[in-house]
Amino acid sequence: MKITIIGLGLIGGSLSISLREKGFCDRVTGIDQDPANLEKAISLGLVDGTAPFVEAIRGSDLIFLAIPVDATVDLLPEVLDLVGPGQVVADMGSVKGAIAAAADRHPNRGRFVSLHPMAGTEFSGPAAAVRDLFRDHTMVFCDSGKTDSDALELMKGMANLLEMRSIYLEAPEHDLHAAYVSHISHITSFALALTVLEKEKEEQRIFELASGGFESTVRLAKSSADMWVPIFRQNKTNVLDVLQEHIRQLNRMKEVLEKDDYPQFYNLIHQSNKISKILR
């Protein structure tokens, strides 16, 4: 099988590594708007080479879009324009509303599979690609009822090969849940980093005092703005809703602390511990 991956960062690069090692494909063509990223991906052996856009799409059995969601919305119709009945197109975006709308308007909608691998790190670019990034994580299939059965089966087989769990959601449901389990974590981490940097001007002291707890909480603040600003833009309504609740809970803790109501603070922390029933 010949595949093309558009976007050679963490997700695209890691996907290429895993699929090549598992024998899913015999050639990977890479496309990236940043020539430096493309050169780096080739030098690292993430892809076999590159080709002109139209040639790469028409010559591939499977095309992945692993680019920021804004770019996916713009590029997806162009890719679908070029594919035939035997080809499959899949996106890897973490917000689905606008992508779904773009796909639904296209006559080749059946050849499209909307995927969200719930895996990643705070790093970006081809050098961030790692093997087995997806193992034991969840692959979300969105609006799968609109996808041709053969295309869906191909991607289900790929998810199994990557040793991923598969779940099936409609785009609006996905975007709401993603705001709670992923997007709010990142925006909170960005805010915490800004808070610490503002209060602690001697940055070296941060590194001297930082423990594992702080590092694990703030590590997401290293994530790429190029990826996350489009995510917040595309999922603005859901993120604002979650953010409002998050701010309410912070204010609640602030008020309890101001009143020296430590029994209530104990209760709030005890309530929060119930998350352990979900995250084991």
Contact 35, 93 (CB under 8 A): no
* 79 token code pair: 């890719």
Tens of pLDDT, residue by residue over 145-186, are 999 999 999 999 999 999 999 999 999 999 999 999 899 999
For 4, the enclosing helix (H) or strand (E) is strand 2-6
Provide the pLDDT for residue 210.
Answer: 65
DSSP string, 26-77: SEEEEE-SSHHHHHHHHHTTSSSB---HHHHHHT-SEEEE-S-HHHHHHHHH
Pick 174-277's CATH classification: 1.10.3660.10, 1.10.1200.10, 1.50.40.10, 3.40.50.2020: 1.10.3660.10
Q: What class, spelled out in words, does domain 2-169 have in CATH?
A: alpha beta
Q: How many CB atoms lie within 10 A of CB 204?
A: 8
Task: Provide CB contacts within 8 A for 243, sequence distance 6+.
Answer: 184, 187
Return d(Cα 102, Cα 96) in angstroms, integer: 10
Provide the pLDDT for residue 243.
Answer: 95
Query: In terms of C-beta density within 10 A (0-12 exposed, 13-18 middle, 19 or more buried), how is residue 202 classed?
Result: exposed
Spatial strand order of the sheet with 138-142 comes to 27-31, 2-6, 62-65, 88-91, 112-118, 138-142, 165-169
Q: Which residues of the chain have pLDDT under 70?
A: 201-212, 278-280
Q: Where are the domains of the chain?
A: 2-169, 174-277
* CA atoms within 13 Å, Cβ hemisphere of 26: 2
